[in-house]
Structure 1
Amino acid sequence: MRVLVADDDEQLVRALRITLSSHGYQVIAAPDGVSAVTTAAETHPDVVLLDLGMPRLDGVGVIQALRGWTNAPIIVVSGRTGSAEKIQALDAGADDYVTKPFQIDELLARVRALTRRAIPGTADPVVTFADVVVDLAATLVTRAGARVHLTPTEWRMLEYLARTPGALVTRETLLKGIWASEQITDSGYLRLYMSQLRKKLELNPSRPRHLITEPGMGYRLDLSDASSPPVVVGEE
């Protein structure tokens, strides 16, 4: 079972790595918020231990980004004891909140409890729309039975959308998750790669039926196959 420890406290990360590894967990570490998001997208951890006060992207931002595509349990491990911080983290999508300093046995018990509740077999579904099949476990896309070759960036953009079909994935989530930098704010990157995805996956790329733009907000993947002509949604 993979555990992502996202914290900029090197000593704490080292201690958690030793302890969790001794209990059979595979530990992956991320020293800041942006790398936490990208590492999670690359490794698909079974549970996330997350500090709130991290550089580049704070813990609440990380929670919001992760909840755009994964239901993996998130346990906040933070020195912030105020009720407002706890409420904000839980409202953003965290499953539990542990205050530093903490007893390692208690943390392990909470990890076990949350992972027992996780639904097995749903982390890597197969998503289909029109004649396209997206196998998230195999990182494979086919169209009409033939393999579609995507660049790594195209795949990651499609993966974010496919993990939460029908839901809006914000531009901020995609930019931070794909390029691992909060400095990249130009959504022209997104328009470029979305255009390429549509050329490879849509029947009519200029009138997309499934890879939909929500102007000013982001994108979503529509899995429906309505026979009526789609409403044309312009790019941002």
Structure 2
Amino acid sequence: MINKISASVAQALEGIQDGATVLIGGFGTAGIPVELIDGLCAMPVRDLTVVNNNAGNGDTGLAALLKSGKVRKIICSFPRQADSHVFDALYRAGKIELELVPQGTLAERLRAAGAGIGAFFCPTGYGTELAGNRETREINGRHYVLEEPIHGDVALIKAERGDRWGNLLYRKSARNFGPVMATAARLTVASVHDIVELGELDPEAIVTPGIYVDRIVKIERRATTAGGFVR
């Protein structure tokens, strides 16, 4: 019987090794798998490469992971925000490496990994420092930069509902990078608020099929904030 439900966050994260590339879903504070990140913070791992849209907010979640000293490198689109003081301090001190990737390119590099694409040409970044020393090519009068897929050893994502086969539904904008990251990692771990019986999820509405998910763990909903958002 296929049953991908883990009894705890710690069990769901078993097997993550030093030097792993960890894809972490989320866009700003939407869809951040905070409980999974906290679980990773508690593990004796180091030299991680983290892939996320940004570089953490405040002192919790991704910022707490960076502050723990376990992250060697971060690949993201928006490393600096008003409350990204943890990343700022680490970067200025030379304690963390940054690979800056335009947001659309980041999403496509992840999608390419899941789709088995070896590399692709993208116009974004051509003629700028972001192109680095990578191959460029002119196609039909337009210039492109060769981009490589981003493969993950593990993906940590947050969904709204799931079943024991690992099929997932998301909540509105909390969906963001979750679906592409799930396809791009060797091990995908999803936190969900509700675990339902097989057949309760409408097959036409499932966003991430269970074939891309290895483990799911149920977490409690967090309290509604003053602005009305549920984290």
Same fold (TM > 0.5): no
Q: Which has the higher helix share?
A: 1
Larger RCO, structures 1/2 (Cα 8 Å, 6+ apart): 2
Select the structure of larger CA radius of gyration.
Answer: 1
